[in-house]
Amino acid sequence: MTALDFWTYGVVGATFLLYIGIAIWARASTTGEFYVAGKGVHPVANGMATAADWMSAASFISMAGLIAFNGYGASVFLMGWTGGYVLLALLLAPYLRKFGKFTVPEFIGDRYYSQAARIVAVICLILASITYVIGQMKGIGVAFSRFLETSYEMGLYIGMGIVFIYAVLGGMKGITYTQIAQYCVLILAYTIPAIFISLALTGIPIPQIGLGGNYAPGGGEISLLAKLDQVVTELGFKQYTTQVMGSTLNMFAYTLSLMIGTAGLPHVIIRFFTVPKVKDARYSAGWALVFIALLYTTAPAVGAMARLNFTDTLMVQQTETTEQGLAAFEPQPYDELPSWFKNWEKTGLLAWQDLNDDGLVQYYNDTNEATVAEAEALGFKGSEVFHRSGDSLNPGPDRDIMVLANPEIAQLPNWVIALVVAGGLAAALSTAAGLLLAISSAISHDLLKGVFAKGISEKNELMAGRIAMAGAIVVAGFLGLNPPGFAAGTVAIAFGLAASSIFPALMMGIFYKKMNNVGAVAGMLAGITVTLFYVFQHKGIFFIPGTAFLAPELGMGPDWFFGISPNAFGAVGAIVNFIVAFVVAKLTAPPPEHIQHLVEDVRVPRGSGEATSH
């Protein structure tokens, strides 16, 4: 066993024992504890748990990788996800908590006085949550397969077992306190390597400030971002600080879809049902934003520094020549590459293919005409750095390796690398647990107790909830092993599904008292149908099964609607939802008077009062 193996098994094993111990200590004994932790969670603790619930494997593993290779364009994730929390804090959380229900479908069913609306909401919830949870399963498998030297499948089984223990036993109560521990693990795992790397590259220990500092290895005469721009453009890639993803309209739609999708994700909303008072829901959202900001303000620095380390110090070596472009870089012999490169080759997320049989590693943008011409003059036949997807090779490294490989690339101590592994697993496990609980409660509480077996006892409902949770874990594991192409490529689609179906129904349910049940159901069905159709219709353009959680936009599809990518189409689906709902509501009978009074009462600003239902 190597020193890295010792540290990895020790740190990951210790965190797993911590999670299981918390689950046993916080085991749920009532449906209230299983669904909403007995509504007794402190706002600060709930904010920390919400942050862990929210910051999934996509946030921890993929986001910085996308920032690394998409530059400024990847700011849509930072703006969309953090902006969504502002919407959630101001427009949804306090009102939903005041309504006092256990789940989002229960609110929709009662507000729209319709079992059909509740069932449709359950369907939308399950579609969005299942799409999201597959990404977490991939994150668990990737981390285990690389660092614990198990197969992807075995890593997935281990992750399923850990989630099963603390989620099925503890329900929301166990998940809440486990997520607090997982937040502490993941934020330390994200920021500590960033501090080390920022110090090495800029001499500044705070990564957020280091991103705007000067490049220390170059004598401090050039800024870090200017150095990065120089390196990537000389290799034929787009300038890092001005790069965008698609058109301006696509950037706007992508940001909007992520914002309203965030505000509509059921596993996030349900967290605000766990606090004692209505005002605590808003405080929880505020604290969650603070805890999330610690990682999200660090991510741009992690992405930029990882790209610079990967490109400048490993793939190529700058020579003394004053020429520009590829001629200014000398490819390194494959046999002399550091061990991390060959370690990641074992996973397939990084690969080298010697196209011109010279034993050297060429890495550049071979879709850039000027770069290709220069490369051919030097005897190169194409960029030789790839990642595998099934039996095919795709250009460049898989973006998902950047955060996990970053400490190895920067030659940080083994304990830091082990901590990053534990952080990636904590991020994936925390979000997976929240999603699985949302699915479980939708099945046991909304479908079983709410529709098909209204007289079920609390004991039997609790048992049904645990069985539904176990079933959801099995289904999620199966889909993690056999991911459908549309879901394996991205979790951004989950936000689009929530944005196009649940968010409009919640907004109209709170702020438009004349929205009736027929309009709400028609709107949800129209929004999610349009979004799903667009995703399936265009999935072949950019979805590559098994690659990045958040597939980057590599140009524009030939028949995209106004240049809007499938990942961003949730914003259009939400507009369709609103329009259809308003038109149908105008053409049909208004809701009963008591429902309109209920909506008005929910909006009365009595934030410090106790919630009355349940």
- Give helix 414-441 / helix 43-54 axis angle, nearest 10°: 100
Q: What's the rounded mean pLDDT across residues 348-370?
A: 84
| % of the chain exceeding 90 in pLDDT | 12
At residue 401, does pLDDT exceed 70?
Answer: yes
Q: Does 48 or 442 have the greater pLDDT score?
A: 48
Q: What is the pLDDT of residues 224-235, one digit of tens each?
A: 998 888 888 888
Which pLDDT score is estimated for 170? Answer: 64
Closest CA to 423 of 194, 116, 154, 174: 194
430 in the same domain as 578: yes
Q: Maximum Cα–Cα distance for the chain, whole Å?
A: 81
Mean local confidence (pLDDT), 462-483 = 78
Based on the fold, state whether residues 449 and 399 are members of the same structural domain: no
- If asked whether residues 342 and 420 sit together in one domain, one would say no
Task: Check pLDDT > 70 for residue 32.
Answer: no
Domain endpoint, select from 362, 393, 409? 409
Q: Is residue 127 part of a domain?
A: no
Residues 6+ away with beta carbon under 8 Å from 413: none
Q: What is the mean pLDDT of residues 333-351?
A: 82
Residue 388 shares a structural domain with residue 454 = no
Per-residue pLDDT of 249-296, as tens digits, reads 888 888 898 889 888 888 777 777 777 777 777 788 888 888 988 988
Band of residue 504 on the pLDDT scale cut at 50, 70, 90: very high
**Nearby residues of 335 by Cβ (< 8 Å), 6 or more positions away:** 359
pLDDT digits (tens, 9 = 90+) for 543-596: 333 333 344 444 444 566 777 877 788 899 999 999 999 999 999 999 999 888
Q: How many Å apart are CA 199 and CA 44, to the nearest integer?
A: 31
pLDDT value at residue 519: 94
pLDDT tens, residue by residue, 598-607: 888 877 655 4
Instruction: Give residue 244's pLDDT.
Output: 76
Q: Provide the whole-model pTM.
A: 0.80
Do 172 and 271 belong to one domain?
yes
**3 state SS of 417:** helix
In which band, very low, low, confident or very high, does the pLDDT at 34 lie, cut at 50, 70 and 90?
A: low
Task: Tell me, yes or no, whether 320 and 382 share the same domain.
Answer: yes
Beta-carbon contacts of residue 605 (< 8 Å; ≥ 6 apart): none
For residue 372, give its domain range: 307-409
CATH code of 492's domain: 1.20.1730
Highest mean pLDDT among 166-170, 334-338, 432-436, 453-457: 334-338
* Pairing outcome for strands 316-318 and 385-389: unpaired
Asked whether residue 402 falls in the same domain as residue 417, the answer is: no
Residues 299 and 432 in one domain: yes
- Beta-strand pair 392-395/360-361: unpaired
Beta-carbon neighbour count of residue 5 at 10 Å? 14
Listed ranges 38-42, 216-220, 224-228, 560-564; the one with the highest mean pLDDT: 224-228
Q: How confident is the model at residue 147 (pLDDT cuts 50, 70, 90)?
A: low
Inter-residue contact 137 to 156 (CB < 8 Å): yes
Helices (H) and strands (E) in the chain, counts: 27, 6
Strand, helix or coil at 91?
Answer: helix
In the predicted model, what is the mean pLDDT of residues 165-170?
70
The confidence score (pLDDT) of residue 516 equals: 94
Q: Which of 21-35, 387-401, 407-421, 566-580 has the highest mean pLDDT?
A: 566-580
What pLDDT does 31 receive? 64
For β-strands 351-352 and 360-361, DSSP reports them as: unpaired
Residue 423 inside a domain? The answer is yes
CB 569 within 8 A of CB 256: no
- Point out the domain boundary residue: 357, 385, 409: 409
Contact (Cβ atoms closer than 8 angstroms) between residue 423 and residue 49:
no
Distance CA 473, CA 161 (A): 9
The verdict on 330 and 270 lying in the same domain is no
Half-sphere exposure of 424 (CA within 13 A, CB side): 34
- Residue 321 pLDDT class (50, 70, 90 cuts): very low
Integer Cα distance of 360 and 591 in angstroms: 71
> How far lies 389's CA from each of 51, 86, 152, 398, 543, in Å?
31, 37, 14, 9, 11
How much is the average pLDDT of 193-200?
92
59, part of any domain: no
The DSSP code sequence of 169-230 is HHHHHHHHHHHHHHHHHHHHHHHHHHHHHHHHHHS-S-HHHHTTSB-GGGTTSSBHHHHHHH
Task: Specify whether 398 is located in the same domain as 421.
Answer: no
Of 62-66, 169-173, 202-206, 448-452, the range with the highest mean pLDDT is 202-206
Angstrom distance (rounded) from CA 302 to CA 305: 5
Most trustworthy range by pLDDT among 61-70, 116-125, 533-542: 116-125
How much is the mean pLDDT over the chain? 79
Question: What is the rounded distance in angstroms from the CA atom of residue 287 to the CA atom of residue 90?
Answer: 13
Q: How many domains does the chain have?
A: 2
Taking only Cα atoms into account, the Rg of the chain, rounded to an integer number of angstroms, comes to 25
Reported confidence tier of residue 15, pLDDT bands at 50, 70, 90: confident
In a domain, 47, yes or no: no
Domain contains 56: no
Quick check: 37 pLDDT over 60? no
> What are the tens digits of pLDDT across the range 508-537?
989 888 999 999 999 999 999 998 888 777
Asked if 485 and 555 touch (Cβ cutoff 8 Å), the reply is no
Percent of the chain with pLDDT over 70: 83
- The CA–CA distances, whole Å, from 567 to 141, 257, 294 equal 24, 8, 26
Q: In Å, what is the CA distance from 107 to each residue of 227, 273, 370? A: 52, 11, 58
